[in-house]
């Protein structure tokens, strides 16, 4: 069974630009969550999608958005990039509502904002 | 606010020595606890979890953790570590909120020969 796939793995952007990150969950998984990982703030929850609906949302500004498609693939977008958005963005999938906390993580997309 | 505290940011230890990584969480009526491990340049992998039942949970590679409700702790232990255990370890909690985990700041375990 293929794992969680995130693309791109590395990217460099400049301030003010926007970026879109993609996540393909494990086949059959309907829940996708996104996390931001930085040395200073650690791992912080961004949002979770289940069956194309946002189920949970973290405390991030509106510049951070996401969506989920009918095949469970998910994208997150960050607009008007700031230096502080430099981070490793991790996507995680799980099989559904009853799979409490059993998240399977991808290797992440490392974003550098210059 | 719900929170998880990992008391040690770095733990250096010699190979074959025992180790304990400490984790405390803010109190709640219903809580589920996890330890994840992150090897360099990789995503997180679930190490072990407590959902209900026995308060002592074990992983396949020799780690164990004990849920202590009175002390709101979920410390991770291993009686004898290997070089390959070198990684960052994250304690996490969810309050039955699906994919929303609250993570601690992580503990970097460094095993030296």
Tell me the pLDDT tens digit for each residue of B66-80: 999 899 999 999 999
Whole-number mean pLDDT of chain B?
91
B84 DSSP 8-state letter: G
Nearest chain A Cα distance for residue B96, angstroms = 7
d(CA A67, CA A55): 11
Interface check for A101 against chain B (CB to CB < 8 A): the answer is: yes
pLDDT in tens, A11-70: 999 999 999 999 999 999 999 999 999 988 899 999 999 989 998 899 999 999 999 999
Say yes or no: B28 contacts chain A, CB-CB below 8 A: no
Alpha-carbon distance of A48 to B12, in angstroms, equals 35
Q: Cβ–Cβ of B98/A56 closer than 8 Å?
A: yes
CA distance A23 to A32: 8
Nearest chain B residue to A36 by CA: give it: B103
Distance CA B50, CA B22 (A): 15
B99 → closest Cβ in A4, A42, A94: A94
Contact between residue B76 and residue B21 where contact means Cβ atoms under 8 Å apart: yes
| pLDDT at position A40 | 85
Mean pLDDT lowest among B13-17, B19-23, B93-97, B101-105: B93-97
**B92 neighbors B105 (Cβ within 8 angstroms):** no
Could you give the 3-state DSSP secondary structure of residue B9? coil
Decide which of B92 and A1 is more confident. Answer: B92
CA A35 vs. chain centroid, Å, equals 6
Residue A100 pLDDT: 64
A110 vs B: CB within 8 A = no
Q: Which of B44, B1, B17 is nearest to B113 (CA)?
A: B17
Q: What pLDDT sits at residue A1?
A: 63
């Amino acid at each position: 069974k293929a794992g969680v796939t995130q693309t791109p793995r590395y990217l460099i952007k400049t301030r003010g630009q926007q970026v879109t990150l993609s996540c393909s969950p494990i086949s059959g998984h309907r829940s996708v969550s996104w996390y931001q990982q930085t040395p200073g703030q650690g791992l912080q929850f961004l949002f979770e999608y289940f069956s194309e609906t946002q189920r949970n949302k973290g405390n991030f500004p509106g510049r951070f958005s996401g969506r989920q498609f009918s095949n469970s693939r998910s994208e997150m977008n960050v607009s008007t990039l700031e230096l502080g958005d430099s981070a490793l963005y991790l996507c995680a999938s799980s099989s559904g509502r009853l799979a409490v906390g059993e998240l399977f993580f991808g290797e992440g997309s490392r974003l550098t904002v210059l | 606010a719900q929170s998880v505290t990992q008391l040690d940011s770095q733990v250096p230890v010699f190979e074959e020595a025992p180790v304990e990584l400490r984790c405390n969480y803010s109190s709640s009526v219903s809580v589920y606890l996890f330890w994840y491990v992150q090897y360099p340049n990789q995503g997180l992998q679930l190490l072990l979890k407590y959902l209900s039942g026995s308060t002592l949970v074990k992983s396949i590679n020799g780690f164990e953790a004990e849920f202590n409700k009175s002390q709101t702790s979920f410390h991770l232990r291993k009686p004898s570590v290997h070089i390959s255990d070198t990684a960052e370890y994250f304690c996490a909690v969810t309050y039955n909120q699906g994919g929303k985990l609250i993570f601690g700041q992580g503990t970097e375990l460094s095993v030296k020969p």
